A = this chain, B = another copy of it.
């Protein structure tokens, strides 16, 4: 996602003297209390407490886990306007956006509470036995998902609420029955403290084991790496840069006992504008893209960083319209200094690449302006750096000579969170090959829409092949995110009294179970 970072490359070891404070990127000044990197002992203590909490937490009745999630939602709402005001100050994001993000965070907690309450997410499977079978008796097998254990979660800078302390990774891990040790993003430590306080109050109010949630601060990678390397940590959720995500993935893979890392690292989210759609809706698409590129100063992992179309009059008109609209968008302040510097230097690097033209740049107001570059397919394919994400309000428009060149670009794309196709149905049927190619590259394909705006529901897939994520089999948004933190256990020939309730003959929770290959809610 972001390319700028807080990493201190000069201090390979813990630096307990390195204090930091919240920073107001608009005023350009620090504020609030001092924070410091968690010490190795604090990391260890948080993980040990999480481990102690694991067994009692996972054994709680689902109703209690659900009530805990609902309570976190309530406690976040109870923080009121102060939360929004502090988050605005730390991130330069507008209050309206943060109010929406809070609603999403709360909605997400309640949705997972519903999933836990309903209970079918454990994917119970029962194959009944047959003691008479020849040549050997058939055993009774009952399988369900159980939580993995303590999970490390890393907050994202660009979603101080929905992908942070009580965001998607935390809530899906807690829903699955896993305690969470949360590493706060140093770009919004005060917001993090507020939300962590809400979580702690929910822990106390609902009588949860104390270690089920804890939060650590840290400026660089050291705290995070210590967390990922801790032998009691069983999985990792992360949203951030490719460099950061890969570092955690590598550390987890090198452990004596490797663990899964779910790192969402962003992408360039190509948008293909096919001929008939361009002809019919070019202006509207230029308008929609402008919003999608500049929304939140372009700080979304689903930001459309690449726009492709076929040369011709309609395409030329479309580019002109996009350029016109982009220059009208006021500049904005990015989340923090490092991210803004990374954007500016990346933008200037792009500008200097032969074959790349800067065709629009907004300059009104303070902060960074949105920028549109253009190039042709040949230059795009020649220069791998043009396929790299530039985190911020910019997009590269690539002109193809025809469908064949569009396919060529699609084939060369790395893994993406999304790809978007603007098309008429007629276009779609004519470009089936393109759609087939894109399906292999992405987690989500969007028709006549925009990649920004990730709906939280059952059918969302927010993920994609590497380097969009480190695990394309998973999603970090939507209810299916719960599966990241669970694994199956099978009970063979177990007596009813000792089986988990989900696997007993009497289906007291009324969940869906695969019984001898047939889905059913019935008792056995």
Contact = CB atoms under 8 A, between A and B. Distances in A.
B494 A447 contact: yes
A143 interface: yes
Given A415-B257, A466-B257, A473-B487, A455 B141 contact: yes
Interface string A107-128: 0000000100000100001110
A457 B141 contact: yes
B512 A488 contact: no
A459 B493 CA distance: 12
A459 B489 contact: no
Contacts of A505: none
Contacts of A498: 425, 428-429, 432, 435, 447
A497 interface: yes
Interface in A419-469: 425, 428-429, 432, 435-436, 439-440, 442-449, 453, 455, 457-461, 463, 465-467
Contacts of A448: 493
A497 B429 contact: yes
Given A449-B139, A495-B425, A497-B428, A458 B488 contact: no
B491 A445 contact: yes
A357 B492 CA distance: 32
Contacts of A467: 257
A148 to B, nearest CB: 8
A277 interface: no
A197 interface: no
A260 B460 CA distance: 22
A127 B446 CA distance: 14
A342 interface: no
Given A258-B249, A466-B257, A125 B459 contact: yes
Contact of A495 (B125, B447, B495): B447
Contact of A488 (B425, B443, B495, B516): B443
The size bracket of the interface on A is: 35 or more
Nearest to A125: B459
A210 interface: no
Nearest to A115: B517
Nearest to A512: B519
A362 interface: no
B445 A258 contact: no
A280 to B, nearest CB: 15
B461 A143 contact: yes
Contacts of A258: 249, 253, 466, 470
A250 interface: yes
A359 interface: no
A444 B489 contact: yes
A113 to B, nearest CB: 13
A193 interface: no
Interface string A134-156: 01101101110010110000000
A55 interface: yes
Contact of A453 (B136, B428, B447, B449): B136
A323 to B, nearest CB: 26
A290 interface: no
A472 interface: yes
Contacts of A170: none
A28 to B, nearest CB: 32
A295 to B, nearest CB: 11
A175 interface: no
A3 interface: no
Interface string A146-174: 10110000000000000000000000000
A76 interface: no
Interface string A342-376: 00000000000000000000000000000000000
Nearest to A128: B459
A492 B257 contact: no
Interface of A: 55, 59, 100, 114, 120, 125-127, 135-136, 138-139, 141-143, 146, 148-149, 249-250, 253-254, 257-258, 260, 414-415, 425, 428-429, 432, 435-436, 439-440, 442-449, 453, 455, 457-461, 463, 465-467, 470-473, 475, 479-480, 486-495, 497-498, 512, 514, 516-517, 519
Closest 9 CB pairs of A and B: A461-B490, A253-B253, A141-B459, A125-B459, A127-B459, A257-B466, A127-B457, A444-B490, A446-B492
Given A100-B135, A143-B460, 4 more contacts: A143-B480, A253-B258, A458-B516, A473-B488
28 contacts: A59-B436, A127-B459, A138-B455, A139-B446, A139-B453, A139-B455, A141-B457, A142-B459, A143-B460, A143-B480, A148-B472, A149-B440, A249-B253, A253-B253, A253-B258, A257-B465, A428-B495, A429-B497, A432-B498, A445-B489, A449-B492, A449-B493, A459-B514, A460-B490, A461-B490, A463-B488, A473-B488, A480-B488
